[in-house]
Chains A and B, each alone.
Chain A
Amino acid sequence: MTLSTASPSAGLPQQSVADYLVTSIKPNIERIKTKIAGMKFEQRAYNLFSYKDEELSDISKYVKQERASLVSSLPHIPRWFSVEEYAASYAKLVDDLMQSDPQLRKALGTIRKKNDLADSEVAESISEAFEILVQKAMDIYRANAELQVYLMLQSRVPNN
């Protein structure tokens, strides 16, 4: 049995690209309050979308910050683990992905330049970016599911 998609461990760069797109589009967080109850969820939503414009100007910066935030949320970090090294390595994976996918690079470039839905030219590009986002995001979820099922099948999960 082999994986249909070769995926690196320690995270999937496509997932971060999709996250970056979603964050750049800036959903209306205030609307979440009226739709989804729960302070914990609201706080989590705020945290995930709290990036400022300048922090979103470069996907590498965003990815490094997002990865560092992810690591800080974990309960136990071993001594051998270097947040800086991990974030930099992961950001390089994202950069490599961007270089290999011109369509994705173009969509991100448009969003980086201007994110104004009232502007017709930008709106068209954002529309295209949405399509790419959905396609990429779903590829990510499928790849993640495949990876995790594969690992579950191969793993030694103890009896309860």
Chain B
Amino acid sequence: MVDEARRASILEMAILMFKSKRLESELRLVYKRSFNLFRQRAETFRNEMSPLIVAGRVVSDLVSRSTLYLDICNSTSMKEMWKLKPYTMENVDKKYFDGLMADLRLQMRRLNEEIVAAQEATTLTYKNLRPYRVFALSPETEDFQQAIALTVFE
């Protein structure tokens, strides 16, 4: 029987996974524009995309911080730290880690809002950009965990 915290963590990561796939498929279409269009609007493009870019960078920073923190907490030497291994929570400051995860959720929402804003912008050609969907998945059953595993490792 998997405990609730673990289910919630898996759900969180699974949603991140779905979101990344969605962002990838949407943005590739957006960025493959003609050079002439880009040249004409390069500066405008950079300015208007700035909030989205910054929001993405902040998310990246939080992911780096959380993984590095878990790596350090689950190692006893520099050499060991580079080995891929399952984490345990034994040496983890749960309050700090929960704070990191809460921050990550907040910034993911912020990133989502920026995609919505980009969708609503009229001056550039990323009208097809769509916000993430909130997947109505429930971590109530253990089947869910298996489904996530299959989804991720297909």
Binding site for B on A (CB under 8 A): 1-4, 6-11, 15, 18-19, 22-23, 25-29, 31-32, 35-36, 41, 44-45, 48-49, 70-71, 73-78, 80-82, 85-86, 89, 117-118, 120, 123-124, 126-127, 130-131, 134-135, 137-138, 140-142, 144-160
Contacts and interface: CB of A to CB of B under 8 A. Distances in A.
A49 B6 CA distance: 34
Contact of A27 (B32, B50, B87): B50
A35 B86 CA distance: 39
Contacts of A31: 47-48, 50-51
B78 A82 contact: yes
A111 to B, nearest CB: 13
Contact of B93 (A1, A7, A76, A142): A76
Contacts of A157: 3, 5-6, 9, 88-89
B43 interface: yes
A48 B71 CA distance: 22
Nearest to B27: A134
Contacts of A49: 54, 57
A9 B82 contact: yes
B49 to A, nearest CB: 7
Contacts of B89: 155-158
Nearest to A40: B103
B77 to A, nearest CB: 5
A148 B39 contact: no
Interface string B23-41: 1100110011101001100
A45 B151 CA distance: 33
Interface residues of B, number: 70
A21 B36 CA distance: 22
Nearest to A121: B39
A10 B72 CA distance: 8
Contact of A156 (B19, B27, B88, B117): B88
A78 B39 contact: no
Nearest to B151: A149
Nearest to A148: B13
A86 B64 CA distance: 14
Contacts of B50: 27-29, 31-32, 35
Nearest to A26: B46
A32 B13 contact: no
B134 interface: no
Contacts of B6: 152, 155, 157
A147 to B, nearest CB: 8
Contacts of B39: 120, 123-124, 127
Given A86-B78, A145-B20, A78 B9 contact: no
A159 B63 contact: no
A11 B149 contact: no
